Structure 1
Amino acid sequence: MGTLLRFKARTAKIVLFCLAILLASCNTLKRVEDDELLLSKNRVFTNGERVVDDDIQSLLVQKPNSRVLGYPLRLNLYNLAKPNPDSTFQEWLKRRPKREARLARLLSEKQVNRLGESFLVKGYSEWLKKIGEAPVIIDTNRTRRSLERLSAYYGSKGYFNNTTTYSVIPTRKQHAEINYNINLGKPFIIDTFTKQIQSSAIDSLYNLNAENSFIKTGDVFDLANFNLERERLTSLFRNSGVYNFQESSITYDIERDTTRANDDQLMNVELNIEDLRRRSDTTVTTAAYKVFKFDQINIYADYQFGQDMDSLKSVSYDDYTIYYKDKLRYKPKALTDAIFFTKDSIYRDLDRIRTYRQITNLNTFKYPNIEFIEDPERDVLTSNIYLSARSKYSLGLDFDITHSNIQRLGIGFSTALVSRNIFGGAETLSLSARGTFGLLSDESLPEDYFSEIGSEINLTFPRIWFPFWLPFVKADRIVPYYMLPTTRISAGISFQENIGLDKQTFNSIFGYNWSPSDFKRSALELLNVQYVRNVNPDRFFNVYTSSYESLDNIADAYQDPLAFPELDEFFQDTDNTTDPRRLIIPEGTTGFTNAILNGDVSSSQEDLIDVSRIEERRQRLTENNLIFTSNFTFTRNNRSGINDNSFSQIRVKFESAGNILSTISRIVPFEENDNGNLLVFGVPFSQYVKTELDYIKHWDLSRSNVLAMRTFFGIAVPYGNAESVPFVRSYFAGGSNDNRAWFPYSLGPGSSQDINDFNEANLKLAFNLEYRFPIVGDIKGALFADVGNIWNVWDNVDDPKKTFSGFESLADIAIGSGFGIRYDFSYFVFRLDTGFKTYNPALEPSKRWFRDYNFANAVFQIGINYPF
């Protein structure tokens, strides 16, 4: 191992040395002629003050070459490319006369040149040019175009009389900066605002909402406000019954008052809203806009294109008419609840959007087609909603082959059968099964194969469904249908063999999901039940080898059969010269632990404490768990799209476990174990409260540079029937999405130096900061710092190094830093991060900073997509 680490360190140093030589040898002026200047920076000044707004910078036609951490990487990659790859091929031939003669005998000169064109050098050069970036040479024509853009932009902000100039400032050899100077002048002000609206209905709607106008007298003229006002009015009219309003009907007349000699910066604005224009092949007609109400709402279930409408049957339900063929396969209420149009109500564009979303949420129909037919004489609409059903059944099958450090070969499959409209109310039933089988890599295990199989059943209702004991509750009044409510009932089971302790797991969920808005999501699980049974707890020390090594190291002082004859049966001889006797698993580990804890042999207080902690951990990780929880999660994410790099997200979760069973135990007597814990099916049920707060913030710096931050706080406090939180609901630190300088489960708790296989606790603090930047093409880079740790608090762990005792415990927060490389595949991001232990709380206080800050001790993490 030591040789391997030294080899890695030596290799890393060589790579860094070569990289330093490469960077130093690059000449940014290699492709810059003597009479040219390389653009190094742009500065924009308005009235003498510098402007750093990214929107302003985006108006400039010429921008300096991009930089990675201040270094022009893409420019230097471009400079590495050969300007004439064919000449390189000829030089290669000349340096090898025999090869040149041999090729000349076989090929003509033209063929040799063609060979040179396809030679590797040319391909390499073309690749460098593609991923690189040509030097940005200052071009006065482009500079003037930038001035024109700047002048137009500030003109749209009311500074019509602005003047622009630029200056080229040389900085160093063949490098220069450009200063763009804009003298804004006096802004133009809106002096009067009038309106000319032809339709009386539009005029009335406008007057009722005039106070919300973006255009106000006394404000500086801003073209953006005129666009916002046009959008506001269009939305207002379309949501007030004018279903056919056209945004193009809105225009503005803007005049400057030239009669004022001393102040001609005042402008008169007139809003014009014309009548509806209809174009035919030969004529254009106009008609006054009107407010329309719904007269008929028709729903065509199982619609097919070209269907004979006259042959359809119909049924009326709550002022809706549902058309169908042969037999109506859907409950009428399930269809009408998804429609937000009602008879005698005015048209609202918002209702149309909500109808589209809710029908899609039913997961039973394809994207619907909604038609509006107007009756101009009566000012009413007929709405026809055409629903094309998706397939009743669908079957999916996945297959994969895996290999890992514990699997020589793994073959996995999964399948899912989906049945739609199972009860006639657009419910969806899903049955899935999965299995993984393979061969283990560890030949020391008693078996060389493993398997894991499981199945799950899911039933989803596209609404809030209350159990039969709450029939009087009106669910749609609590969670309206426009919030896309769903009810989920699921149950699953899985079995493991020759994996860990061979767990058998059963889980069941009954919960609700809804979205109050596009940026908010809520999830309530009334009941989440999980039962975990460890089939082979005696295999603990085979699986958790670090715990075994710790116990065996303690037992070394007791392995002499002459001194401790009563312990001799717990040891076996080995071929290891450094450790000739080791504890037998499981008889020896159990017997030795009991002998120390029961005082059957004389031991030190330190050994007694260490063995007690190992045994406590063994019991904790091998115990069966029965977890009855209820939880609520609220998430707010204001990200507007995948390209939005300035957004925030907050997630709050509260969970309570065991309260339902604790309440039942007051009515129905439960059995108790020797520790006084109440048992359900022979297992003590967990009881705790848990809360989490997760906040993420992104800042778009400029040119695809992003600063991302994440903070996390989580705590789970056991009480009542439990002294600790179940392992599956506890916290761990480290990993590709946490503190990347540590592997998963390897950090903490606190300042403890336990090298357990799975370190966990019930309190977690984390803070992550990452700077992301483009490198070349789809390759991105990142610099990061990860801060955090886990602790035990208010549970049965008494080790002061592992427990959180107040603000002084914050000194045990671990710090990791490093860099990462990402490749963007559009659909997902492949990520490789290298983390260094910057501050390691497990070491002595004087050795915590930068002790292992080198490549030999670096941790490499692979992940998919960004960590936060």
Structure 2
Amino acid sequence: MQKLNTGHYKTFAAFSFMLMISSCSNTKFLQEGQMLYTGAKITVKNDTLSKKEKSNLKDALQEQLRPKPNSSFLGLRPRLYVYNITKEPKKQKGIGYWLKYKIGEKPVLLGDVDREFNKKIIVNYSENKGFFNAKVSSDTIAKNKKAQVLYTVKPGARYLISQVNFPVDSTVINSEIQSIKDKSFLKAGNPFDLDVIKAERERIDDHLKNRGFYYFSPDNIIVQADSTVMKEPKVELFVKLKNNTPPISKEPYTIDKTIVFADYNLADVKQGKYGIPYITDSVKVYNDLYIIDSENKFKPKIFDRALYFKRGDLYNRKDHNLSLNRLISLGVFKFVKNEFVVSDSLNHKFDAYYILTPRPFQSLRLETLGKTNSANYTGGEVNLNWTHRNFFRGAEQLKGAIYGAADVQVGGPKDANNIIRIGANAQLSIPRIVAPFRFHSSSAYVPRTNINLGYEYLSRTQLYTLHNFNTSFGYVWKENERKEHDLKVLDVTLVAPEKITEKYLEQINGNTAAGISANPSLQRVVDKQLIFGPTYSYTYTNTMLPKKNTFYYKGSVDLAGTITGLVSGADAKAGDQKEIFKIPFSQYAKMEHDFRYYRKVNDKSTIATRFIAGMGYPYGNSTTMPYVKQFFVGGSNSIRAFRARTLGPGSYDPRTEEASFFFDQSGDIKLEMNAEYRANIYKFLNVAVFADAGNVWLVNEDDNKPGGKFSKDFLKEIAVGAGVGLRLDFSILILRLDLAMPLRIPYYEEGDRWTFDRIDFGSGAWRKDNMILNIAIGYPF
């Protein structure tokens, strides 16, 4: 994140100028007789429909019409303008071709509109929604070389369902259909709707698939509508099997043998009937599973845990999908294929084949990163990551990484506080719950036991050196695609300081002769810290579902030193602080909640909102929260009008600090709110308008942080910022540029915190002090 300089200002000014230029009329580029098509307007005339029903029908019909007019942004057509001003390229490549045909957009003309075709589309859609007597007329309004097509729809009365019939016969499949007819989506009194009929066929198919009817298809069901028996606009429906339904589709099938090809390679294995590999002599039988693994790469029990089908089971789609998903989630197979082959047609049995192609078990990846920030730091990072995906032949993943990073102050003081980090970590992830109790999961996701171990060496030259050790043991499991649990039974962090310089001690204790005030809070950064205890987080999200409105929630709880503190009777406030290995252990309770709501306005725009609330409370053996467990705000993923970790606590003014380096401002309580409007203006180019608000506070009074304690006046200490942004979405990478400015600064005098009256975009000094450019990867939330 950095403050906006003159060059950045010119870039954004140029972008704004381009949008302004594009507002010039595109019609001057049209040839004689051509008219620019600006879209269609639909009017629905019907006295029996409510205003909402008319609006819904009109919106649905509007989506059916073709072609769509040229894309627009804020009433302008910048892509059409780019197409018009770019000369016809001589070759189908180069910058000219890219500008005209990739960035630009060819004009959509009135001559491109087939009104008769659109009228047929409108009638057809209306009939599918129960308007069997729909009539459509069209007209055109033209002015200044622009034309709009008007469609007037008279849908007539909408036909309702008078009765739904499920004819009875003596077959097994009919008996299954009869058992679920009371849950039908088709209800008497509801409007006739082809989409509901399709959903009903899918509902019946889904039930039958879970009752053994593997070869059944929704196309085997026909829903007949009879409107001749009623004088009113009503239809009687008959739901039944088609006469030409194949016999194999009417019979439920059971599982005979389950055969696993654990190490399948198309180049090395001969194919048999149905594309199934030939079964070799190297077959192992394990709990009714037939496993072909000639090189003994896998333990048989991983397939027994993943596969739900047992011999003699009735086929069902749920277990079918669960088995496939669990095999995929093991993370060790590149391809997973499943086939069912009839083995006994008389008794309706088939064999289940699982054909698995393993991924390379080991991989090595080198990553490099360059970075710069607003504190004049420039640096880089190197990461070497190694992964083994089948360490003990049971799909156990062992990951190891070593890394090194350096941040050097360029253009800063001579005794700059450069930062050096060197570390290593390892994780063993076991695809099951390793515990003294039995854990059963019917989820499509394999539960995992994770063991982590890490170390980091951190040196801030001229200041201090820290050694950070951490380890954890816990479990991760998902109930379904929406709900995930992460429980660390034990999470341990040990921070050991080394080489604390006189310069840093001077900042802590103060130096009257040098005019440096004491800042005891800096001592917490270099204190020995021992933090241990359980942590738990729960995540719920439906953002992967194709819904208009989606939701994300993550809640976490961190309980450190609770049992040890209670058993030992620790009371730091009374001077009775307990130690382990001569290190005081931390005792606190912390929780955090992250709510996100996404509302899809249309196909190209979304409103995203977020609310975060968190609190940490030290007690027993601690009077303050460990520095590494406190909350921070500001930066590219938080309140973007303020630099990272420079805001708060409360109304405390960080400008009063006399240290020659930036000290991260932290708090025990956090509140943050964000809102963002996102719009797509071209395939990979998105724009955003956003507002952020929030702050952090302390639980207890700190004389060195006046105004930092949480109080009933906390709302007066909320910081507010707003801005605009560009997002370049290249699928594998989203590059984000957010330009923000503060609107409310909590450490100003109480009556002077809003800054609207001081906004001056024309002033270079104001822009330098207030405009913050955040460059980041990915969306902020």
CA 1:145/1:629 → structure 2, altered by over 3 Å: closer, same or farther?
A: farther
Partner of 2:354: 385
C-alpha deviations, 1:391-426, integer Å up to 9, x for none?
A: 4x413030426354666664624131425141x443
- Pairing 1:72-111 to 2, within 5 Å after superposition: 72-82=77-87
Q: Does 1:515 align with 2:478?
A: yes
Give the secondary-structure state (helix, strand or coil) at the position aligned to 1:652.
Answer: strand
Rounded Cα–Cα distance in structure 2 between residues aligned with 1:188 and 1:387: 52
The CA deviation at 1:429 is 2.4
The CA deviation at 1:245 is 1.7
Q: Does 1:752 align with 2:721?
A: no
Partner of 1:296: 257
Rounded Cα–Cα distance in structure 2 between residues aligned with 1:124 and 1:245: 54
The CA deviation at 1:352 is 1.1
- Pairing 1:123-202 to 2, within 5 Å after superposition: 124=96, 127-128=99-100, 130-139=102-111, 141-169=113-141, 173-195=144-166, 200-202=171-173
Task: List alignment gaps of at least 5 residues for structure 2.
Answer: 271-276, 762-766
Partner of 1:737: 637
Which of residues 36, 51, 58 is equivalent to 2:55?
Answer: 51
Which of residues 538, 541, 558 is equivalent to 1:637?
Answer: 541
C-alpha contact 1:724 1:796 (8 A) present in aligned 2: no
- Pairing 1:232-311 to 2, within 5 Å after superposition: 232-257=203-228, 260=230, 262-263=231-232, 265-274=234-243, 277=246, 286-287=247-248, 289-303=250-264, 305-306=269-270, 309-311=279-281
Partner of 1:223: 194
The CA deviation at 1:130 is 3.9
Rounded Cα–Cα distance in structure 1 between residues aligned with 2:263 and 2:141: 71
C-alpha contact 1:418 1:429 (8 A) present in aligned 2: yes
Which of residues 49, 55, 70 is equivalent to 1:65?
Answer: 70
Which of residues 295, 300, 306 is equivalent to 1:338?
Answer: 306
Rounded Cα–Cα distance in structure 2 between residues aligned with 1:533 and 1:474: 38
CA 1:694/1:539 → structure 2, altered by over 3 Å: closer, same or farther?
A: farther
The CA deviation at 1:437 is 6.1
Which of residues 313, 317, 321 is equivalent to 1:349?
Answer: 317
C-alpha deviations, 1:312-362, integer Å up to 9, x for none?
A: 243343x44445547x56444332111101233211111111111112233
C-alpha contact 2:329 2:445 (8 A) present in aligned 1: no
Q: Does 1:205 align with 2:111?
A: no
Rounded Cα–Cα distance in structure 2 between residues aligned with 1:747 and 1:447: 23
Q: Does 1:861 align with 2:774?
A: yes
Query: TM-score, normalised to structure 2's length?
Result: 0.86
Q: Does 1:433 align with 2:396?
A: no
CA 1:270/1:442 → structure 2, altered by over 3 Å: closer, same or farther?
A: closer
Give the secondary-structure state (helix, strand or coil) at the position aligned to 1:61.
Answer: coil
CA 1:853/1:728 → structure 2, altered by over 3 Å: closer, same or farther?
A: farther
Give the secondary-structure state (helix, strand or coil) at the position aligned to 1:748.
Answer: coil
Task: Specify the code of the residue in structure 1 equivalent to 2:695.
Answer: N
Q: Does 1:774 align with 2:680?
A: yes
Task: Specify the code of the residue in structure 1 equivalent to 2:562.
Answer: N
Rounded Cα–Cα distance in structure 2 between residues aligned with 1:245 and 1:645: 32
C-alpha contact 1:741 1:836 (8 A) present in aligned 2: yes
C-alpha contact 1:191 1:218 (8 A) present in aligned 2: yes
C-alpha contact 2:381 2:403 (8 A) present in aligned 1: no
Further displaced range: 265-274 or 354-363: 265-274
Rounded Cα–Cα distance in structure 2 between residues aligned with 1:123 and 1:744: 38
C-alpha deviations, 1:725-776, integer Å up to 9, x for none?
A: 1221111111111111111012222222213621111111111111111234
Give the secondary-structure state (helix, strand or coil) at the position aligned to 2:565.
Answer: helix
Rounded Cα–Cα distance in structure 2 between residues aligned with 1:21 and 1:429: 56
C-alpha contact 1:301 1:323 (8 A) present in aligned 2: yes
CA 1:18/1:297 → structure 2, altered by over 3 Å: closer, same or farther?
A: closer
The CA deviation at 1:792 is 1.4
CA 1:539/1:696 → structure 2, altered by over 3 Å: closer, same or farther?
A: farther
Partner of 1:571: none
The CA deviation at 1:126 is 6.6
Q: Percent identity?
A: 25
Partner of 2:620: 720
Rounded Cα–Cα distance in structure 2 between residues aligned with 1:483 and 1:399: 29
Q: Does 1:488 align with 2:486?
A: no
Give the secondary-structure state (helix, strand or coil) at the position aligned to 1:345.
Answer: coil
Partner of 2:25: 27
The CA deviation at 1:237 is 0.9
CA 1:853/1:204 → structure 2, altered by over 3 Å: closer, same or farther?
A: farther
The CA deviation at 1:13 is 10
C-alpha contact 2:493 2:532 (8 A) present in aligned 1: yes
C-alpha contact 1:337 1:481 (8 A) present in aligned 2: no
CA 1:60/1:649 → structure 2, altered by over 3 Å: closer, same or farther?
A: same
Partner of 2:284: 314
C-alpha contact 1:736 1:862 (8 A) present in aligned 2: yes
The CA deviation at 1:149 is 2.0
C-alpha contact 2:65 2:118 (8 A) present in aligned 1: yes
Partner of 2:738: 833
Q: Does 1:814 align with 2:719?
A: yes
C-alpha contact 1:733 1:789 (8 A) present in aligned 2: yes
The CA deviation at 1:439 is 6.8
The CA deviation at 1:57 is 2.8
The CA deviation at 1:620 is 1.9
C-alpha contact 2:701 2:708 (8 A) present in aligned 1: no
Give the secondary-structure state (helix, strand or coil) at the position aligned to 1:739.
Answer: coil
Partner of 2:764: none
Q: Does 1:659 align with 2:557?
A: no
C-alpha contact 2:556 2:592 (8 A) present in aligned 1: yes
Task: Specify the code of the residue in structure 1 equivalent to 2:151.
Answer: Y
Rounded Cα–Cα distance in structure 1 between residues aligned with 2:551 and 2:560: 30
Task: Specify the code of the residue in structure 1 equivalent to 2:653.
Answer: Q
Rounded Cα–Cα distance in structure 1 between residues aligned with 2:150 and 2:672: 44
Give the secondary-structure state (helix, strand or coil) at the position aligned to 2:29.
Answer: coil
Task: Specify the code of the residue in structure 1 equivalent to 2:446.
Answer: L
Task: Specify the code of the residue in structure 2 equivalent to 1:81.
Answer: T
Rounded Cα–Cα distance in structure 2 between residues aligned with 1:804 and 1:336: 55
Which protein has greater RCO, CA pairs closer than 8 Å, 6+ apart? Answer: 2
CA 1:167/1:533 → structure 2, altered by over 3 Å: closer, same or farther?
A: farther
Partner of 2:384: 414
C-alpha contact 2:160 2:233 (8 A) present in aligned 1: no
Structural RMSD (CA)? 3.6
Rounded Cα–Cα distance in structure 2 between residues aligned with 1:764 and 1:696: 16
- Pairing 1:592-607 to 2, within 5 Å after superposition: none
C-alpha contact 2:161 2:190 (8 A) present in aligned 1: yes
Give the secondary-structure state (helix, strand or coil) at the position aligned to 1:30.
Answer: helix
Task: List alignment gaps of at least 5 residues for structure 1.
Answer: 86-116, 278-285, 560-581, 584-588, 590-610
**Which has the larger helix fraction?**
1
C-alpha contact 2:649 2:705 (8 A) present in aligned 1: no
The CA deviation at 1:175 is 4.2
Rounded Cα–Cα distance in structure 2 between residues aligned with 1:137 and 1:621: 67
C-alpha deviations, 1:284-323, integer Å up to 9, x for none?
A: xx44622222333344444552376342243343x44445
CA 1:8/1:474 → structure 2, altered by over 3 Å: closer, same or farther?
A: closer
C-alpha contact 1:159 1:187 (8 A) present in aligned 2: yes
Rounded Cα–Cα distance in structure 2 between residues aligned with 1:368 and 1:18: 53
C-alpha contact 2:335 2:358 (8 A) present in aligned 1: no
The CA deviation at 1:178 is 3.8
Rounded Cα–Cα distance in structure 2 between residues aligned with 1:158 and 1:421: 60
The CA deviation at 1:265 is 4.0
C-alpha contact 1:763 1:793 (8 A) present in aligned 2: yes
The CA deviation at 1:185 is 0.7
Rounded Cα–Cα distance in structure 2 between residues aligned with 1:465 and 1:533: 31
Give the secondary-structure state (helix, strand or coil) at the position aligned to 2:64.
Answer: coil
Give the secondary-structure state (helix, strand or coil) at the position aligned to 1:528.
Answer: strand
CA 1:207/1:787 → structure 2, altered by over 3 Å: closer, same or farther?
A: same
